[in-house]
Amino acid sequence: MNSFLDIHTTEKSELRGMIESARRMKEARNGRPKGAPDDELPLKNRMVALIFEKPSTRTRVSFDLGVRQMGGQTMVLSGTELQLGHGETIADTARVLSRYVDLIMIRTFEEATLQEMAEYADVPVINGLTNRTHPCQIMADVLTYEEHRGPIAGKKVVWSGDGNNVCASLIQAAGQFGFDFTFTGPAALDPERVWMDFAREQGVAAEIQRDPAKAVAGADLVVTDTWVSMHDPQSAKERRHNQLRGYQVNKKLMAHAKPDALFMHCLPAHREDEVTSAVMDGPHSVVFDEAENRLHAQKAVMRWCLNV
């Protein structure tokens, strides 16, 4: 049984296989209507539980549609419906759901919730996001980069802003896919040292550069994310803006990257905060290809989990 919990805990060869599987499935659709089934129906007669403690647009739609395209059915559950860890222990919820469904995707707050769900479930569990990591997003990002520019191995990827959960998974991916990583942002928002150490142990460069212009120099890919969460109080939002204003991705910053560099953002974006519309809608941006590729990458992850 394969659970997809984090990029650094999944074998490199398995990650590469998922990227190739996603590419093949995307190409095989050949522009057919979005709701049309795939030629193959690997999830036929399979039921997938999609649990959302945190609200979502891309994760919900892409997982739901992906299951349907592959012939399966979904059961979408909110955290309030399940009362995870309140009305019933997470372990017991995992045991019960395992009697009903073939696969569980959970988008939650605490990493411990994900880990406990995976420990006690008798079916595979997919990390749809936690406060600490977001592996499905980065699988889509790798797919997107390679779709446009070929192999990501050996390239320079720069993260500008807050060393958050998406950043954490990107650093893990640097080690697993073999690209160099540079973080630029305020020291108070540095990514966890354990992820930087992991990437270095895999033989790639992983560094912190406070000067964003120097960080982006020669970059093949520049990535950012929103500075604030919808759950942050107003005081925290104001503090984040003050900390991160100098790390906005704008045309001036992108000019330091390679001429053919790409720009990514996992969305939703707060335009004119972490990134300007000139960059979001400009020639470097592949953000909407990136959003679409959540669908294809996650279909590959689900097939890998179920070995179908």
Catalytic residue among 107, 132, 265, 284: 107
How many angstroms separate the Cα of 135 from the Cα of each of 5, 126, 210, 263?
A: 8, 9, 25, 18
Catalytic residue among 265, 284, 294, 296: 294
Q: Is 58 a catalytic residue?
A: no
- Sheet-wide strand order for 206-208: 206-208, 180-184, 156-160, 221-224, 262-265
How many angstroms separate the Cα of 42 from the Cα of each of 69, 306, 308?
A: 9, 9, 6
Q: Is 172 a catalytic residue?
A: no
Burial of 190 (0-12, 13-18, 19+ CB in 10 A): middle
The full DSSP string for 185-240 is S-GGGPPPHHHHHHHHHTT--EEE-S-HHHHHTT-SEEEE--SS-TTS-HHHHHHH
**Rounded to the nearest 10 degrees, what angle do helices 165-177 and 193-201 cross at?**
10
The full DSSP string for 224-292 is E--SS-TTS-HHHHHHHHHHHGGG-B-HHHHTTS-TT-EEEE-S---BTTTB-HHHHTSTTB-HHHHHH
Q: Is 225 a catalytic residue?
A: yes
Among candidate residues 156, 84, 169, the one with its CA nearest the CA of residue 120: 84
Catalytic residue among 68, 225, 240, 305: 225
Q: Is 245 a catalytic residue?
A: no
Catalytic residue among 6, 68, 132, 137: 137
Catalytic residue among 69, 136, 172, 266: 266
Catalytic residue among 132, 134, 240, 265: 134
- Cis-peptide into 151, omega within 30 deg: no
Q: Is 209 a catalytic residue?
A: no
Q: Is 266 a catalytic residue?
A: yes
List active site positions: 107, 134, 137, 225, 266, 294
